[in-house]
Amino acid sequence: MVPCWSLRALLGILSASIGASEATVVAPPPPALGSVVVAVDPHAAPPERFAAGQLSHFFSLVAGLPVPVLSPAAAAATGRPVVAIGVAAAATVGVSPQHLAAAQLGSDGYFCATAPDFSFIALSGGFSSHSSAIVPANASTTPRGTVNAVFAYLRSLGFKFLAPSVTLGPGPVDAVPQAVRLARCDGTHVPSYNFRLINPAFLPIGADPWGDADGDDSKAPLTGSALWWVANGLNGAMDSGELPPLPAAWGGSVRYAGGFVHTSEDLVPVARYPAWYGGSEQLCWSNASLVTFLTAKVRSILAGNAAAANGEQVIVSVSQNDIGGSGPACAAYPGGLCYCNTPEERSIIEAEGSPMGPMLRAVNTIAAAIADDYPNAAVETLAYDYTIRPPRHTRPRGNVLITFCTMSSESSVLNRVGKCRFACAVR
């Protein structure tokens, strides 16, 4: 959440008040939304122009009058406060592209800055070019950062994007629209999670969640499911068809290439490769030939995926099958375990203190093998049921994602005595 007032601004007001001998000095109020103009470079990347259009739309709704989107030069010529959107527009108000590059904002992080007198506010994602002098057009910014910046700023003003059919504006319902004013915004924000998705099966977003929206029209206001999804910073998609990616002009999505979790059987069918299952329901991850096979399989998936070929962010799931580790259903398997219990596998499990040990080691090896050729791809695996306890020694590589599953009935009783398996794994 972007703060409405920075500590620096509040301290400035207080010190001015305390230091005045005959009169109290009060900072002037921020400009009303209807008094500003939005600036974006006409050659900016489509997500930046899209973000500028969305900000103008919501400002206009609240102000009750049009808030124009202009080029940076035209915006400056108006003499009105400017909200500069994107790297190039931010540069015109004094924010260095090199500063944005140095901020390490990633694909979804953003930067915001406010002039002391509110003459400008700059909202921008990161800068991905190595150019030291000129901001290149159309490929200069990371995909979603500027879009996230705009909607975070709208939320800081009081907009609430509660559901596909429920969006609330700032202030009480009887507030005077023109009284809504800009808020100060300074600093950077990088999301803690780089893949954010809610399973569409649990949401009333329909079979075609993005509707008839034209992804190439940067001025068309979002509505319904599309607005709710983008405004809340969700960025995930499934290539298997359950959830299509967002249009590239809206910032696009991080996609799964191939199946969405529980992929062992799809990658390595047990009927065809029984030896790699060791007589169990799960793969024997310690088998070197299996890891070599899986590495080739992941490479094949990425090579056949258009998004990966374009250098976009994609995820390949290399994860356990959807069956528990023990219990009555596993009684017929070696050791009464549904997961692999060969001597090689058991040796790693004992050393790591968890069946996650051999699986994470295998996934790390696969991820290391594809990192140079696919720097924007990640390999995902599950911490699920018998693999929720993290290994003692092995840690995931930077391009490995762990999906921690909370489906256990214990997940709602983290502090109950005797229910530490899930809680201890979380801690």
| More confident site: 45 or 410 | 45
Closest CA to 424 of 398, 378, 381, 390: 390
Helices (H), 304-342: 306-309
Mean pLDDT of 384-389: 85
What confidence score (pLDDT) does residue 288 get?
Answer: 96
Mean pLDDT of 317-335: 76
In single-letter form, the type of residue at position 267 comes to L
Mean pLDDT of 379-390: 89
What confidence score (pLDDT) does residue 417 get?
Answer: 46
- Give the C-alpha distances (Å, rounded to integers) separating 319 from 36, 372, 397: 51, 22, 16
Q: Cβ atoms within 10 A of the Cβ of 223, count?
A: 13
What confidence score (pLDDT) does residue 298 get?
Answer: 96
Spatial separation of the C-alpha atoms in residues 131 and 87, rounded to whole Å: 13
| More confident site: 7 or 76 | 76
Q: Is the pLDDT of residue 405 over 80?
A: no
Angle between helices 356-370 and 288-303 (to 10 degrees): 50
In single-letter form, the type of residue at position 107 comes to S
Confidence at 209, pLDDT banded by 50, 70, 90: low
Residues of each domain in the chain carrying CATH 3.30.379.10:
7-189
Residues 336-348 have pLDDT tens digits of 778 888 999 999 9
Question: If you search the block for the tokens 């230091």, which residue do you land on?
Answer: 19
DSSP states of 318-355 as a string?
Answer: ----SS-SBSGGGTTSGGGBSS---HHHHHHHHHHTST
Q: Which CATH code fits 7-189? A: 3.30.379.10
**Contact at 8 Å (CB) between 52 and 40?**
yes
**Contact at 8 Å (CB) between 300 and 308?**
no
Spatial separation of the C-alpha atoms in residues 204 and 222, rounded to whole Å: 17
**Contact at 8 Å (CB) between 186 and 112?**
yes
Q: Is the pLDDT of residue 172 over 60?
A: no
Q: How far out from the chain centre does Cα 350 lie?
A: 36
**Contact at 8 Å (CB) between 55 and 115?**
no
Q: In this structure, what DSSP letter does residue 31 have?
A: P
What confidence score (pLDDT) does residue 210 get?
Answer: 66
DSSP states of 258-286 as a string?
Answer: S-SS--HHHHS-TTT-GGGGTTSSS--TT
Extract the runs of DSSP E, i.e. beta strands, from 155-278: 160-163, 166-168, 187-189, 236-238, 254-256
Spatial separation of the C-alpha atoms in residues 179 and 183, rounded to whole Å: 12
Tell me the torsion sign for CA atoms 213, 217, 223, 229.
positive
Confidence at 2, pLDDT banded by 50, 70, 90: very low
Q: Which helix (H) or strand (E) holds 288?
A: helix 288-303
Q: In this structure, what DSSP letter does residue 43 have?
A: T
Q: Is the pLDDT of residue 379 over 90?
A: yes
Q: Is the pLDDT of residue 98 over 70?
A: yes
Q: Is the pLDDT of residue 203 over 50?
A: yes
Q: Is the pLDDT of residue 23 over 70?
A: no
Q: Is the pLDDT of residue 302 over 90?
A: yes
Confidence at 130, pLDDT banded by 50, 70, 90: very low
Residues 264-284 have pLDDT tens digits of 999 999 999 999 998 888 999
What confidence score (pLDDT) does residue 153 get?
Answer: 96
Q: Cβ atoms within 10 A of the Cβ of 146, count?
A: 31
Specify the range with the lowest mean pLDDT, choosing from 114-128, 319-333, 352-366.
319-333
Q: Is the pLDDT of residue 328 over 60?
A: yes
Specify the range with the lowest mean pLDDT, choosing from 54-58, 148-152, 200-204.
200-204
Which pair of structure tokens corresponds to residue 109? 């992080």
What confidence score (pLDDT) does residue 7 get?
Answer: 34
Mean residue pLDDT across the chain: 80
Mean pLDDT of 234-242: 71
Dmax over CA atoms of the chain, in Å, equals 88
Specify the range with the lowest mean pLDDT, choosing from 231-240, 276-285, 392-401.
231-240
Which pair of structure tokens corresponds to residue 182? 């800009």
Strand order in the sheet with 377-383: 236-238, 254-256, 314-317, 377-383, 400-404
Say what the pTM is: 0.77
What confidence score (pLDDT) does residue 205 get?
Answer: 59
Which pair of structure tokens corresponds to residue 341? 């219990």
Closest CA to 390 of 426, 419, 417, 362: 426
Closest CA to 405 of 192, 286, 238, 262: 262
Q: Is the pLDDT of residue 233 over 60?
A: yes
What confidence score (pLDDT) does residue 283 get?
Answer: 93
